[in-house]
């Protein structure tokens, strides 16, 4: 194939058009206030998840979403929108840093090289990005504003009364550091000694680092945290008004994991302390037959009796040696040990034993539970193993086998007896509250966001330490630039690499800089804002630009009109970005409450073997090779023709050839090859009226392509254009007006060939001035689609027996009469007992017979 002549000369005209678009800044989008800005047009902000520019280059998965958004961007421009369609680089990250460790080359150098490669690849596909808005999260000008946003977060707190972030000045307590949205805490983190860095949870697979497969251990370290949990309720509630896939909303919902329940205080026997537990089932309090503390619970040492001290110490040691993963395996058999201590059940004064067990986690609730083995699977398994008593306190209305964890009616529960679960919950909660023994409580699975990394290649914190206290640098000192380092190798200790830049670290005689850097998510948390106003030197985004491109927060939450990317960011990037956006909105810096109004996930593209593409499987498709072979238009078109955008689907080179042939047919609609092998305008193209059939298919195509673009059904839009081209190919003469419409419809999908044909037709015919992309989107004429006659089917008991052509507006009665006068059909009906006749105009007549 590669040695063969191309079916149409895309190797010549595709680069030609790409250059022309670049030279003429064809896709530059002016901002409000600029001379060529047209305020009368509506806005459309369509965004891709920007890539990490890895050394591997682009794979065919990237352009899937990018092509979809490019088609929509082009379509909206043709419909008169001001379209914001930008691209940039999420360029901090571990691979560049590790490459630097290996080679000594500065990450900035490799990053710049990779960006060059990525950008070149994207430009070869002909995307209509406004490259003048390109951003790179690692440039000082971008880092400056990332750090500035950190300052806003640091200098604010969440006011529970107003339910929003406010400047820290409005906090009236005596320890502002305890309420800041950015705070320092000693936290267990994934530390990889081999790599010399902490890793995010998602970078740890089976207790080993994803990169290199080195062991990872949990170790407590001093970390910066962001108080995302304060926004748990709003992050949850805000989902309702967003046009996101339900599955993604559900993922966020589960991740946030809001639950309603109660704190209950248990007195301890012979110890001056109480244990507070969190439960979602306070109604089962009468059934609590023992209590379990997490092995790390602070009271364990205090309450353990002399006799149990060795057993408890042994157990804690065993638990400590287990990997996090082992410990979280729910199917594992329960383990635990008695502390020797007893607690008192506040409702009935029962004395219940206190155990420690690793199935109680220290990070959730209070790290202590009341165990109700009759109505909780885990407690039941534990009680069974250690022969602890089981008391039924909820009765199901239906028979159940095994442990009953559902809702029913309270029994054996004193004041609660006879109450349904929901009522029992409120009753016991107020009972506890009245006596100061407990209170209603809401808990989240969501944890505060661990925001610091012991890495070089990230944003430095704009933070200074002095006398054991932290403070920020002033906004005028931003950006805090990374120091130059010759050696990126890990120190071998927990100390971040920045510690090696001794001059940089030393801020003053007595003050030192923070050594941690921010995680990669920091830059991606707000890049969609910077795109609105990427060169603004006074603000992270200009107020007018933000108000225009994000909307004014009217009826809908507003923000980016359409955001397309993979599902893998469902709970990380998409949650973090919403959190930052909310803080900035609360502080008055942004007009809208949410960042992304509509979200669409593209499905993964699999290898030709139906497996996930990977280097080890050797099934990776390289976009450059496809484009060399078939051209950018065919590549784009195939990516969209494969199947529904959101669906997972395998690659097929034969499929690429199919759309390539289609584009070649479009080419030959207008051109033919002469004796010298030159493409000349075909004589078959003529200024003639389209036939009624051509007109019908043309307008059906306008209608379907337009509708399908609205629902992102690119594959069916393309098949309709194929139908249209097949119709025109079959014709002796091609009406030039039909070609004109077809090229306009095709131009968002296959922009190069559309422009090239448009330009060539302009040499002979009128109506081809300017660019195909600059044309108004066509409108279909419904009257041309209506046929005078329609074919209906005649059915007996729902089975098709005959077909019949009738006037399109025939009534039910006329249809039935027509059926009854159809001899062949009546012959089949002869002798049958017709009980009912269903006639549907334009569709069918169904005779229901008995026997």
Partner RNA sequence: GCCGGUGUGGCGAAAUGGCAGACGCAACGGACUUAAAAUCCGUUUUCGCGAAAGCGGAGUGAGGGUUCGAGUCCCUCCGCCGGUACCA
Residues 1-20 that bind RNA (CB under 7 A): 4, 7
Q: Does residue 45 belong to the site contacting RNA (CB under 7 A)?
A: no
Stretch that binds RNA, among 166-174, 326-334, 345-353, 670-678 (CB under 7 A): 326-334
CB of 252 to RNA, least distance (A): 10
CA triplet 544, 550, 552: central angle to 5 degrees?
70
Give the other-Cβ count within 10 Å of 488's Cβ. Answer: 23
Q: Binding residue for RNA (CB under 7 A) from 78, 642, 757, 818? A: 642
Using CB under 7 A as the binding rule, whether residue 722 contacts RNA is answered as yes
Contact segment (CB under 7 A) with RNA among 27-35, 55-63, 395-403, 800-808 equals 800-808
Among 318, 614, 726, 811, binds RNA (CB under 7 A): 726
Candidates 313, 644, 706, 737; binder of RNA (CB under 7 A) is 644
In angstroms, the Cα distances linking 202 to 205, 211, 262, 677 are: 7, 11, 32, 57
CA dihedral 168, 171, 175, 178 (to 10 degrees): -70
Single out the residue of 723, 774, 784, 826 in contact with RNA (rule: CB under 7 A).
Answer: 723
Which residues lie below 8 Å from residue 316, measured CB to CB, with a gap of 6+? 295, 300, 356
Comparing CB distances to RNA, the nearer of 329 and 544 is: 329
Name residues contacting RNA, limited to 534-563 (CB under 7 A).
Answer: none
Q: Alpha-carbon distance 388 to 529, whole Å?
A: 58
List the interface residues with RNA, window 267-296 (CB under 7 A).
Answer: 278-281, 294
CB of residue 741 to RNA, shortest distance in Å: 18
Omega of the bond leading into 642 within 30 degrees of 0 (cis): no
Spatial distance between the Cα atoms of 65 and 565, rounded to a whole number of angstroms = 6
36 or 246: whose CB is closer to RNA? 246
Q: Helix (H) and strand (E) counts for the chain?
A: 27, 36
Which of 527, 392, 533, 516 lies closest to 461 in space, CA to CA? 516
3-state DSSP call for residue 203? helix
Which residues between 808 and 847 bind RNA (CB under 7 A)? 836, 838, 840, 843-844, 846
Site string for RNA, 86-105 (x = CB under 7 A): --------------------
Window 110 to 169, contacts with RNA (CB under 7 A) = none
Within 650-689, the residues that bind RNA by CB under 7 A are 650, 652, 654-655, 657-659, 661-662, 664-665, 668
Shortest distance (Å) from residue 832 CB to RNA:
13
Residues in the chain: 851
Looking at residues 428 to 487 of the shown chain, list those that interact with RNA (rule: CB under 7 A): 443, 445
CA 240 and chain centroid, separation = 16
Q: What is the DSSP string of 750-791?
A: SHHHHHHHHHHHHTTSSS--S-GGGSPPP---HHHH--SEEE
Residue 47 to residue 124: CA distance in whole angstroms? 19
- Minimum Å distance from CB 665 to RNA? 5
Tokens, residue 727 = 């119709």
| Nearest C-alpha neighbor of 576 from the set 145, 231, 114, 302 | 231
Determine if 321 is a binding residue for RNA (CB under 7 A): no
Between CA 606 and CA 651 the distance in angstroms is 6
Distance CA 503, CA 481 (A): 13
**Which phi and psi (to 5°) does residue 223 adopt?**
-135, 150
CA–centroid distance for 510 within its chain: 45
Closest contact distance (angstroms) between CB of 708 and RNA is: 8
Of 685-714, binders to RNA (CB under 7 A) are 713
CB of 237 to RNA, least distance (A): 18
Binding map of RNA across residues 233-262, x = CB under 7 A, - = no contact: -------------xx--xx--x--x-x-x-
Q: How far is the CB of 205 from RNA (least distance, A)?
A: 11
Binding pattern to RNA, positions 56-75, x when CB under 7 A?
--------------------
Could you tell me the smallest distance in angstroms from the CB atom of residue 707 to RNA? 10
Q: Which of residues 332-391 bind RNA (CB under 7 A)?
A: 332, 334, 358-361, 363-365, 367, 369, 376, 378
Structure tokens belonging to residue 394: 């909820």
Q: From 120-128, 324-332, 452-460, 520-528, give the range in contact with RNA by CB under 7 A.
A: 324-332
Q: Which of residues 594-623 bind RNA (CB under 7 A)?
A: 612
User: 97 or 639, CB closer to RNA?
Assistant: 639
Q: Which of residues 766-795 bind RNA (CB under 7 A)?
A: 791, 793, 795
């Amino acid at each position: 194939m590669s040695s063969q002549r191309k079916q149409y000369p895309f190797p010549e005209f595709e680069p030609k058009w790409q250059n022309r678009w670049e030279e003429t800044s064809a896709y530059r989008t002016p901002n409000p206030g600029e001379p060529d800005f047209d305020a009368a047009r509506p806005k459309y902000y369509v965004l891709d998840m920007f890539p990490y520019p890895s050394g591997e280059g682009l794979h065919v998965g990237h352009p899937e979403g990018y092509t979809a958004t490019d088609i929509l961007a082009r379509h909206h421009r043709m419909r008169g929108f001001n379209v914001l369609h930008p691209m940039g680089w999420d360029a901090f990250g571990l691979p560049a840093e590790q490459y630097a460790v290996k080679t000594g080359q500065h990450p900035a150098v490799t990053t710049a090289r990779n960006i060059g490669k990525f950008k070149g690849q994207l430009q070869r596909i002909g995307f209509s990005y406004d490259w003048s808005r390109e951003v790179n999260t690692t440039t000082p000008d971008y880092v400056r504003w990332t750090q500035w946003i950190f300052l806003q977060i640091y200098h604010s707190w969440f006011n529970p009364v107003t339910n929003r972030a406010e400047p820290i000045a409005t906090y009236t307590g005596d320890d502002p550091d305890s309420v800041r949205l950015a705070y320092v805490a000693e936290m267990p983190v994934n530390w990889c000694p081999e790599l010399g860095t902490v890793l995010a949870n998602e970078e740890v697979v089976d207790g080993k680092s994803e990169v290199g497969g080195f062991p990872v251990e949990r170790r407590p370290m001093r970390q910066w945290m962001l108080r995302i949990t304060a926004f748990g309720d709003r992050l949850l509630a805000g989902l309702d008004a967003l046009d996101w896939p339900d599955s993604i909303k559900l993922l966020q919902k589960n991740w946030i994991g809001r639950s309603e329940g109660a704190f209950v205080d248990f007195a301890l026997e012979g110890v001056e302390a109480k244990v507070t537990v969190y439960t979602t089932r306070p109604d089962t309090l009468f059934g609590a037959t023992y209590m379990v503390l997490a092995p790390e619970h602070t009271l364990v040492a205090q309450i353990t009796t002399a006799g149990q001290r060795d057993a408890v110490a042994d157990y804690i040691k065993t638990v400590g040696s287990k990997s996090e993963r082992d410990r979280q395996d729910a199917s594992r058999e329960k383990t635990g040990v008695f502390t020797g201590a007893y607690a008192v059940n506040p409702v009935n004064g029962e004395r219940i034993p206190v155990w420690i067990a690793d199935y109680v986690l220290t990070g959730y609730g209070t790290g202590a539970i009341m165990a109700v083995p009759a109505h909780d699977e885990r407690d039941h398994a534990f009680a069974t193993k250690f022969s602890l008593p089981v008391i039924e306190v909820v009765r199901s209305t239906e028979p159940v086998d095994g442990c009953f964890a559902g809702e029913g009616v309270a029994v054996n529960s004193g004041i609660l007896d006879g109450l349904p679960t929901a009522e029992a919950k409120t009753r016991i909660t107020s009972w506890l509250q009245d006596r100061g023994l407990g209170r209603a409580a809401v808990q989240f699975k969501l944890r505060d966001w661990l925001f610091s990394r012991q890495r070089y290649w990230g944003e430095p914190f704009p933070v200074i330490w002095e006398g054991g206290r932290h403070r920020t640098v002033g906004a005028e000192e931003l950006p805090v630039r990374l120091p130059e380092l010759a050696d990126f190798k890990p120190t071998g200790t927990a100390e971040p690499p920045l510690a090696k830049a001794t001059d940089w670290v030393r801020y003053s005689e007595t003050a030192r800089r923070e050594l941690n850097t921010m995680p990669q998510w920091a830059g991606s948390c707000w890049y969609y804002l910077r795109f609105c106003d990427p060169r603004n030197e006074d603000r992270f985004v200009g107020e007018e630009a933000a108000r225009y491109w994000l909307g004014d927060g009217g009826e809908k939450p507003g923000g980016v009109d359409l955001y397309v990317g993979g599902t893998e960011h469902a709970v990380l990037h998409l949650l973090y970005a919403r959190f930052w956006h909310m803080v900035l909105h609360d502080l008055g810096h942004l007009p809208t409450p949410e960042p992304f109004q509509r979200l669409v996930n593209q499905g993964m593209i699999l290898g030709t073997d139906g497996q996930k593409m990977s280097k080890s499987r050797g099934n990776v498709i390289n976009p450059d090779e496809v484009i060399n072979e078939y051209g950018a238009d065919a590549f784009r078109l195939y990516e969209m023709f494969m199947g529904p955008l959101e669906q997972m689907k395998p690659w097929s080179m034969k499929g690429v050839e199919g759309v390539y042939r289609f584009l070649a047919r479009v080419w030959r609609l207008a051109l033919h090859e002469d004796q010298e092998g030159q493409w000349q305008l075909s004589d078959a193209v003529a200024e003639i009226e389209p036939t009624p059939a051509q007109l019908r298919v043309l307008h059906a195509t306008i209608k379907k392509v337009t509708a399908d673009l609205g629902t992102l059904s690119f594959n069916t839009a393309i098949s309709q254009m194929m139908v249209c081209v097949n119709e025109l190919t079959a014709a002796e003469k091609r009406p030039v007006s039909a070609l004109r419409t077809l090229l306009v419809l095709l131009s968002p999908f296959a922009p190069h060939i559309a422009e090239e044909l448009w330009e060539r037709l302009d040499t002979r015919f009128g109506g081809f001035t300017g660019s195909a992309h600059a044309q108004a989107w066509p409108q279909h004429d419904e009257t041309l689609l209506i046929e005078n006659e329609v074919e209906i089917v005649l059915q007996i008991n729902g089975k098709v027996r005959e077909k019949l052509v009738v006037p399109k507006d025939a009534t039910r009665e006329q249809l039935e009469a027509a059926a009854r006068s159809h001899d062949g059909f009546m012959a089949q009906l002869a002798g049958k007992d017709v009980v009912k006749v269903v006639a549907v105009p334009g569709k069918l007549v169904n005779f229901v017979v008995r026997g």
